[in-house]
Every structure is written in structure tokens, then in C-alpha cells.
């Protein structure tokens, strides 16, 4: 599944060597969602880890990513599920791209329920 999101880089973490063959770098993207922005954790893996070097915190970016899920059984036999947002590309938003599906909705306050005519 491929998705796209636009938001502000809230936090960029250093790359971590998880195993001999697996390296990842996480970052938090603040995505507008009405009155309550969402802080969403994404990850880059392998050679893609360096793609964040061109960006700074508080900068607006567009990320293209896949939603991944997996099942894990603990040594005690407990089954747990994990999700990850694996990023393929990080780029600057194109100028004048407003109105596309990948742009966040304006952060406008909700209208008061007192405005309802009944």
C-alpha cells in the first residue's frame, strides 16, 4: 500500500544500526488534522537513511510511504502486532500544489455548535 503525507518535520533522529544487515532512521512528522495536529513516526531504512540529511526540523516536506504490518509471537506464546510507515521518498512540496490529496487541510477552528439553527 502506497500513501503520501505532507507535514512539518518535528523531530529527526540519528540512524541506528539495528543488525549487521538492517539500518533505520526515524523521524516525526507533524500532520495537520483540524484542531489537533498528529505527531506521526515514520522510518527510513538502508540507503534511504541519508535522504533526511537535506532537511532540517520545522521544515515542511512530502513523504511517500508504505504501510507495513507484521505479527510476532513472544517466547511465552503471546501474539503481538506491529505497524511501521516505511518511507520511500522525502521531498519538498511543489510550489502552488494546494488542493491536491497529499496536502493537509487548513488548520481552522471548528464552528461552534451554537450556530446550529435549531
- pLDDT tens by residue, 19-41: 999 999 999 999 999 999 999 99
Whether the pTM exceeds 0.85: the reply is no
**In terms of CATH architecture, what is 2-98?**
Beta Barrel (2.40)
Structure confidence at residue 35 (pLDDT): 93
DSSP string, 16-54: EEEETTEEEEEEEEEE--TTS-EEEEEEEEGGGGGGGGG
| Domain coordinates in residue numbering, the chain | 2-98
Residue for cell digits 446550529?
A: 116
For 46-78, write each residue's pLDDT tens digit.
999 999 999 999 999 999 999 999 999 999 999
Mean pLDDT of 88-108: 61
Note whether 65 and 87 are within 8 A (CB): yes
Q: Any idea what DSSP says for residue 15?
A: P
Amino acid at each position: 500500500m502506497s500513501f503520501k503525507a505532507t507535514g512539518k518535520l518535528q523531530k529527526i533522529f540519528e540512524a541506528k544500526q539495528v543488525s549487521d544487515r538492517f539500518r533505520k532512521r526515524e523521524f516525526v512528522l507533524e500532520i495537520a488534522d483540524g484542531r489537533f495536529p498528529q505527531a506521526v513516526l515514520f522510518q527510513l531504512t538502508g540507503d534511504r537513511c541519508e535522504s533526511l540529511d537535506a532537511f532540517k526540523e520545522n521544515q515542511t516536506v512530502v513523504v511517500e510511504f508504505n504501510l507495513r504490518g507484521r505479527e510476532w509471537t513472544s517466547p511465552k506464546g503471546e501474539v503481538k502486532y506491529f505497524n511501521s510507515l516505511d518511507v520511500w521518498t522525502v521531498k519538498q512540496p511543489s510550489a502552488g500544489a494546494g488542493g491536491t490529496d497529499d496536502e493537509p487541510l487548513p488548520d481552522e477552528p471548528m464552528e461552534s455548535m451554537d450556530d446550529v439553527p435549531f
